[in-house]
Structure 1
Amino acid sequence: MTEILGFIAAILTTTAFIPQVIKVYKTNHTSDLSLLTFLMFTIGVFCWIIYGLILNSYPLIIANIITFLLACYILVKIFKNIK
């Protein structure tokens, strides 16, 4: 039951991030996004991946790897759009 709850949480929190990625992809507009927030978020997600590996928790590992990749995409776009 614990793993099921973990997978539900992982699916919801990861998919909640997808609309932002789609918007950045379609518009290439990132000026309204905070670089510091996305840096902190991405580092935090990386820490969750490490934590999941330590616990051997697949919901933590899988969801945070996906979220990490999505956040890295947005970070790259933010850096490319800095003027």
Structure 2
Amino acid sequence: VVQAMSEGDWLSVVVKDHGEGMDRETLENVFIPFYTGRTSGTGLGMAIAKKIIEEHRGGIHINSQRGIGTEIIIKLPYKQIGG
């Protein structure tokens, strides 16, 4: 599920799934380059995403529980151009 909404000067994008979720160790380390809790992958995806979001003066937060799923919240500054 993907939702987008504006909140004043911020644009929020929320991505939710009902998958397996992340364990505590993965959740605490998910933004560290080359960290992966999987047997495959480079461990760069979330680190790169966070860097790009922060370069745009935004933020990213993850809520996750094993067996329930994951919610990723991205907030970016938003300024309407024009009328």
- Give the structure-1-normalised TM-score: 0.35
Higher helix proportion:
1
Higher strand proportion:
2
- Give the structure-2-normalised TM-score: 0.35
